[in-house]
Chains A and B, each alone.
Chain A
Amino acid sequence: MSSVAVFSKASPFDALQRWLPKLVLAPSMFIVLVGFYGYIFWTFVLSFTNSTFLPSYKWAGLDQYVRLFNNDRWWVASKNLAVFGGMFIAISLVIGVLLAIFLDQRIRREGVIRTIYLYPMALSMIVTGTAWKWLLNPGLGLDKMLRDWGWEGFRLDWLVNPDRVVYCLVIAAVWQASGFIMAMFLAGLRGVDQSIVRAAQIDGASLPTIYWKVVLPSLRPVFFSAVMILAHIAIKSFDLVAAMTAGGPGYSSDLPAMFMYSFTFSRGQMGMGSASAILMLGAILAILVPYLYSELRTKRND
């Protein structure tokens, strides 16, 4: 009753009130439509043109995509992304899950330990890359340290070895992100229903069995989110490569994000750079869409 009464009085103040929410949201709506979707479309268009140093809008069909697929460096970058992404995701998950389980055993000083595991996440990838570039320096880094400590035959030249350099990226990225995965799983573990665990304990299941068979399966959603986030970090990885290897030696440690940057902004290959950006978007969508789909489905089932 009363709300009807309020809304039937259409004073200018009320009209303004009714429009205010829309007015407040309007700039952001404009930004999202233009700055997100409009710009993606613009890049999409550029990927079908023969733009080089300056944008041109001469239609070139699929030429840039064909050139991209015939470009050896693009294949190296894509293969590196598969290796880097696969290892980075797998290792971060294993370390994160194990640390979370260990930390969940009523550990004294848990807060301090958690803080230490997670601090790399506060750093820029540029700082992380700089630090690891120094640690992995052949001749002065860990290479020399372990020899100084008595391991005479130790050699660590991965940073300058085209076949191994991508593992250097994996090491640094795992160091930065695994603590965060630990935090995600620890939060998940704290939410597991205690009664299921008790029941398994009464049945005489051993601790590792309980974790493997009961606790971890119940953390499936956390697992999916973690994979999603890690894959996203991997595909967008640019700063880490820039700081650690700049794509080198040669272009052996190139990643798609690095490829896009150097072709678009330093080599004057705007069309091909745009094509590579669109393929990166495709990769993100390829993992995002199934993820969102399963998310929505579980929500509807709840």
Chain B
Amino acid sequence: MTSLVGKSSISLSRIAIYAVLILVCVLYLVPLVVMLLTSFKTPEDIGTGNLLSWPAVVTAIGWVKAWDTVDGYFWNSIKITVPAVLLSTGIGALNGYVLSMWRFRGSQAFFGLLLFGCFLPFQTVLLPMSFTLGKMGLASTTTGLVFVHVVYGLAFTTLFFRNYYVSVPDALVKAARLDGAGFFTIFAKIILPMSTPIVMVCLIWQFTQIWNDFLFGVVFSSGDSQPITVALNNLVNTSTGVKEYNVDMAAAMIAGLPTLLVYVVAGKYFVRGLTAGAVKG
């Protein structure tokens, strides 16, 4: 669908199209610009100026205060996200490998059951999971959150790898099996080396999901084990003391920067994950 408009078309309609596209770009960028501008203002400046006015004095005081408030929670998020992403991706890769190349009776039915997990409203599992975490002694720990994220991340990670491996020719694996290569040898020597794109997609998808999670964080953690999203929400929605919007916005930027950074650096894989996960899910 590229050539619907004629070739020599510096026409009015083309100018209109560009105008709309650029206007929408500006509108989409406004919240980010406002957050940045506000985060570098002084509280007095916020009262006298407006959302898009340039800071009278550019100051990093908001960022310093925000970081002092949320730094511990930022590290919590890293402690939760990194192991959960790696584990769920690894297990997803092995599951996808079995479900596409080592099918057995019942494995397809299992895949169907698993797929529903992509749509599962987590509200239906919160209470039993909190009882379970309590029994396991993992209530209100970052380890508990890692466990929860691995469990409920499996549906998507398995789906990614299974759909990717399904298109790998069977002959490749059959030949290796005839040569006497075993289950893990084939996985390590043949399958993994060709998996880079889907590993990227899966890592980025899981990173964004887990870093941005709020529901599990607010239900399964408390106090010192909370992730950054919960800390940000607590900071913004406390009704005590004078509201410092510059601190709020700086904290929001701190919470958003890791995923934004990943998006800017590896946007290609992010979009592919969204569409693969969402459309096929």
Q: Bound pair: A and B? A: yes
Is residue B86 within 8 Å, beta carbon to beta carbon, of the partner chain?
no
Report the separation of the CA atoms of residues A284 and B24 in the bound assembly, to the nearest whole angstrom: 32
Q: CB-nearest residue of chain B relative to A20?
A: B183
Interface size class of B (residues with CB under 8 A): 35 or more
B95-A28 in contact (CB<8A): yes
Tell me whether A215 and B1 are in contact in the complex, defined as CB-CB below 8 angstroms, given that A134-B248, A140-B245, A238-B214 are known contacts.
yes
A148 cross-chain contacts in B, Cβ below 8 A: 50, 53
Is residue B54 within 8 Å, beta carbon to beta carbon, of the partner chain?
no
A22-B125 in contact (CB<8A): no
B212-A125 in contact (CB<8A): yes
A contact face: mostly helix, strand, loop, or mixed = helix
Tell me whether A130 and B1 are in contact in the complex, defined as CB-CB below 8 angstroms, given that A25-B98, A257-B123 are known contacts.
no
A17-B124 in contact (CB<8A): no
A132 cross-chain contacts in B, Cβ below 8 A: 31
- B28, B30, B52, B255 pick with most chain A CB within 10 angstroms: B28
A13 cross-chain contacts in B, Cβ below 8 A: 182
- A249-289 at interface with B (beta carbon < 8 Å): 257, 260-261, 264-265, 270, 273-274, 276-278, 280-281, 284, 288
Contact flags B177-215 to A (C-beta < 8 A → 1, else 0): 110001110000000000000000000000010011111
With both chains docked as a complex, state the minimum distance between the C-beta of B144 and any C-beta of chain A, in angstroms.
13
B28-A6 in contact (CB<8A): no
B129 interface neighbour in A39, A142, A261, Cβ under 8 Å = A39
B121-A235 in contact (CB<8A): yes
Q: CB-nearest residue of chain A relative to B174?
A: A3
- B202-258 at interface with A (beta carbon < 8 Å): 208, 211-215, 218-219, 229, 232-233, 236-237, 245, 248-249, 251-252, 255-256
B95-A131 in contact (CB<8A): no
A29 interface neighbour in B38, B110, B122, Cβ under 8 Å = B110
- A31, A126, A210, A276 pick with most chain B CB within 10 angstroms: A126
A274 cross-chain contacts in B, Cβ below 8 A: 127
With both chains docked as a complex, state the minimum distance between the C-beta of B129 and any C-beta of chain A, in angstroms.
6
Q: Which of A57-65, A67-75, A77-85, A103-111 contacts B (4 or more CB under 8 A)?
A: A103-111
Tell me whether A105 and B117 are in contact in the complex, defined as CB-CB below 8 angstroms, given that A28-B91, A113-B25 are known contacts.
no
With both chains docked as a complex, state the minimum distance between the C-beta of B188 and any C-beta of chain A, in angstroms.
13
With both chains docked as a complex, state the minimum distance between the C-beta of A2 and any C-beta of chain B, in angstroms.
6
Q: Which of B55-63, B135-143, B164-172, B272-280 contacts A (4 or more CB under 8 A)?
A: B272-280
B1-A126 in contact (CB<8A): no
A134-B274 in contact (CB<8A): no
Tell me whether A127 and B256 are in contact in the complex, defined as CB-CB below 8 angstroms, given that A28-B154, A55-B131, A104-B4 are known contacts.
yes
B21-A107 in contact (CB<8A): yes
Report the separation of the CA atoms of residues A189 and B4 in the bound assembly, to the nearest whole angstrom: 11
Is residue A94 within 8 Å, beta carbon to beta carbon, of the partner chain?
no
Tell me whether A187 and B124 are in contact in the complex, defined as CB-CB below 8 angstroms, given that A131-B34, A131-B252, A179-B28 are known contacts.
no
A179 cross-chain contacts in B, Cβ below 8 A: 28
A55 cross-chain contacts in B, Cβ below 8 A: 127, 131
With both chains docked as a complex, state the minimum distance between the C-beta of A265 and any C-beta of chain B, in angstroms.
6
Is residue A183 within 8 Å, beta carbon to beta carbon, of the partner chain?
yes
Contact flags A152-165 to B (C-beta < 8 A → 1, else 0): 00000000000000
Report the separation of the CA atoms of residues A239 and B218 in the bound assembly, to the nearest whole angstrom: 10
With both chains docked as a complex, state the minimum distance between the C-beta of A106 and any C-beta of chain B, in angstroms.
6
With both chains docked as a complex, state the minimum distance between the C-beta of A249 and any C-beta of chain B, in angstroms.
13
With both chains docked as a complex, state the minimum distance between the C-beta of A245 and any C-beta of chain B, in angstroms.
9
Is residue B35 within 8 Å, beta carbon to beta carbon, of the partner chain?
yes
A140-B46 in contact (CB<8A): yes
A35 cross-chain contacts in B, Cβ below 8 A: 125, 129, 151-152
Is residue B94 within 8 Å, beta carbon to beta carbon, of the partner chain?
yes
With both chains docked as a complex, state the minimum distance between the C-beta of A216 and any C-beta of chain B, in angstroms.
11
A280 interface neighbour in B107, B123, B212, B233, Cβ under 8 Å = B123
B245-A134 in contact (CB<8A): yes
B18-A261 in contact (CB<8A): no
A32-B34 in contact (CB<8A): no
A141 cross-chain contacts in B, Cβ below 8 A: 51
Tell me whether A124 and B121 are in contact in the complex, defined as CB-CB below 8 angstroms, given that A117-B25, A239-B215 are known contacts.
no
Is residue B12 within 8 Å, beta carbon to beta carbon, of the partner chain?
no
With both chains docked as a complex, state the minimum distance between the C-beta of B243 and any C-beta of chain A, in angstroms.
9
Report the separation of the CA atoms of residues A119 and B35 in the bound assembly, to the nearest whole angstrom: 14
A39-B125 in contact (CB<8A): yes
Contact flags B151-169 to A (C-beta < 8 A → 1, else 0): 1101100100000000000
Given contacts A32-B117, A35-B152, 20 further A-B contacts (CB under 8 A): A25-B99, A25-B107, A31-B154, A32-B110, A32-B114, A36-B120, A42-B127, A43-B125, A43-B126, A55-B127, A115-B267, A118-B267, A122-B208, A127-B255, A140-B46, A148-B50, A175-B31, A197-B1, A239-B229, A288-B119
Can you list 15 A-B contacts with CB-CB less than 8 angstroms, sorted by A residue number? Answer: A43-B128, A104-B4, A106-B5, A113-B21, A122-B262, A125-B214, A126-B233, A130-B232, A140-B46, A183-B274, A184-B278, A222-B279, A242-B233, A243-B237, A257-B123
Counting from the closest, the 8 A-B pairs by CB-CB distance are A124-B212, A21-B102, A122-B263, A239-B214, A39-B128, A277-B123, A145-B50, A39-B125
